[in-house]
Amino acid sequence: MSGEELVELTIGPVAHGGHCVARLDGRVVFVRHTLPGERVRARLTHAAPDAKFWRADAVEVLEASADRVDSPWPQAGPGGVGGGELGHVAPAAQRVWKAAVLAEQLRRLAHDDREVTVLAAPGDLERGGLAWRTRVDLVADDDGRAGMRVWHSHDVHALTSMPLATEQIAALDLFERSWPAGARIEVAAPASGDHAVVLVEGEPWDLAHDRVDRRATATRSVREQVGPHTYRVAADGFWQAHRSAPAVLVEEVLAGVGDVAGATVADLYSGAGLFTVPLAGAVGPDGAVVAVEGDERAVRDARRNAHDAPHVRLVHGDVGRVLRTSDEVVHADVVVLDPPRTGAGRTVVADVAALAPERVVYVACDPAALARDVALFAAGGYVMERLHGLDLFPMTHHLEAVAVLTRSGRSDG
């Protein structure tokens, strides 16, 4: 079939990745921009004759779900940019969608059958799931207009707005300016309201004069406030994008580790120290936090952020290699694990289990990776006692989850 051909489909259940499942002449088709139970006309986007499954975008709704709404960001609709693929779904139904995906991945990959709830972040209900992104990554098209790439394409689609960005970013008028053609544009605007930083091809940009800021004092980092803690983070380094995510995740992690006064906590994939800093306060001066991170720049940020905590040891290196080949982490009462989207994997999970922590607090940004790692931990004698799903990416299929695993099934209720 031609990739431009329109087909009529009856839509089945949601699937991981922002799609729903349909069937066409017995072949599985993953369809974006639709909802379970709908009947749609869809454009096939990936339909090679020998492919195991096809992909499609719903372009016309013939029978609509009660959960369908007008998208607040039509430019992320069919044929548009990525990053807003659930805009057509009512906000409450988005969380039901994500809960179903998380539950299905746990059931299929970890043989863990449980009810799952995904909670909204503070303020999102009032804002309708909009104005949450404090970090935005754009690219200029050939005419110098800021935009994003079309889903699964290298083509740049010029934008007129980005409703997911915070008010501070919206005030920068990014889509009314002319940028160097083809340039990457990165924006970081702290939720605390501190100054925003714009980088073009990694260089600070002077918005007042629309040019690279060549002053020696040009800013490349931002100040983030999370509860009582202040962080300095590289503007193009990793930081949670949702305005409320850092505080929500710190609260979840501290609740998950429990009373760790005087304990040793390993903070793996520790980044700029989002969890390291509050964990240092939780263990107190008689305890220890060993933070391991592979990105050298993030470790430099963490060193500044934890400079007044002598009982914190920062280790730069690949987490798996550090656990296997060094004596930096030989024991941990508790492990906080915040791996990349691909998950920790078999080797790292085995290395963590070898530390014999009483509990592991796992922060996950991909439900399939979490489910695979939960299964691996189960084989090593750990039981998932608690799981909280968090909708920290409204209007997209992404979600965060925080799982607490205890050794030999020990639970504090």
Give catalytic residue positions: 365
Q: How many helices (H) and strands (E) does the chain have?
A: 9, 23
Q: Closest Cα partner for 199 from 228, 175, 179?
A: 179
Q: What are phi and psi of 104, to 5 degrees?
A: -65, -40
58: β partners: 42
| Helical residues (DSSP H) of 26-111, grouped into ranges | 91-110
Q: What is the DSSP letter of 410?
A: -
For helices 367-379 and 91-110, the axis angle rounded to 10 degrees is 30
Task: Dig out the tokens for 142 from the structure.
Answer: 């050939």
Task: Dig out the tokens for 302 from the structure.
Answer: 């963490």
Work out whether the CA dihedral 16, 17, 20, 24 comes out positive or negative.
Answer: negative
Find the angle CA(220)-CA(247)-CA(121) to the nearest 5 degrees.
110
Q: What is the arrangement of strands in the sheet containing 334-337, beginning at the earlier edge strand?
A: 118-120, 382-391, 400-407, 359-364, 334-337, 264-268, 288-293, 312-316
- Measured distance CA(261)–CA(271) in Å, rounded: 23
